[in-house]
Amino acid sequence: MVLNTTDLATAEPRGVWEACRNGEWDRPTPGVCQENVQANLVVLPLSDAFDFLRFCQRNPKPCPLIEVTDAGDPEPKLTAAGADLRTDLPRYRVYRRDEEVEERTEIRDLWRDDFVAFLLGCSYSFEYALLAAGIPLRHIEAGENVAMYRTNIRCISAGKFAGPMVVSMRPIPARLVSHAVEVTARLPQVHGAPVHVGAPEALGITDLKRPDWDGMTEVRPDEVPVFWACGVTPQAVALEAKPERMITHSPGHMFVTELTNKELTNR
| C-alpha distances out from residue 249 to 42, 156, 182, 262, 264, Å | 7, 24, 30, 24, 22
Shorter beta-carbon distance to a copy of itself: residue 124 or 161? 161
Secondary structure (3-state) at 216: strand
Shorter beta-carbon distance to a copy of itself: residue 8 or 193? 193
In degrees rounded to 5, what are phi and psi of residue 226? -115, 135
Shorter beta-carbon distance to a copy of itself: residue 210 or 262? 262
Shorter beta-carbon distance to a copy of itself: residue 79 or 87? 79
Rounded CA separation 37/42 (Å): 16
Which of 4, 9, 10, 46 is close enough to bind a copy of itself by CB under 8 A?
46
Give 226's Cβ-side CA count (13 Å radius): 26
Rounded CA separation 123/130 (Å): 10
Rounded CA separation 64/38 (Å): 12
Shorter beta-carbon distance to a copy of itself: residue 46 or 132? 46
Strands 245-249 and 92-96 come out as: antiparallel
Shorter beta-carbon distance to a copy of itself: residue 106 or 258? 258
Q: How many residues does the chain have?
A: 267
Of residues 220-249, those binding a copy of itself (CB under 8 A) = none
Of residues 49-88, those binding a copy of itself (CB under 8 A) = 49-50, 53-54, 57-58, 65, 68, 70, 78
Smallest gap from residue 127 Cβ to a copy of itself (A): 23
Of residues 125-184, those binding a copy of itself (CB under 8 A) = 156, 158-159
Smallest gap from residue 58 Cβ to a copy of itself (A): 7
Q: Is the dihedral of CA 83, 86, 88, 89 positive or negative?
A: positive
Shorter beta-carbon distance to a copy of itself: residue 64 or 171? 64
Rounded CA separation 207/32 (Å): 33
Smallest gap from residue 70 Cβ to a copy of itself (A): 7
Rounded CA separation 254/265 (Å): 21
Q: Which residues contact 221 (CB under 8 A, 6 or more apart)?
A: none
Q: Does 208 bind a copy of itself (CB under 8 A)?
A: no
For residue 180, which of 125, 124, 232, 135 has the smallest C-alpha distance? Answer: 135
Shorter beta-carbon distance to a copy of itself: residue 50 or 175? 50
Using CB under 8 A, count the residues that bind a copy of itself: 15
Residues in contact with a copy of itself by the rule CB under 8 A? 46, 49-50, 53-54, 57-58, 65, 68, 70, 78, 156, 158-159, 188
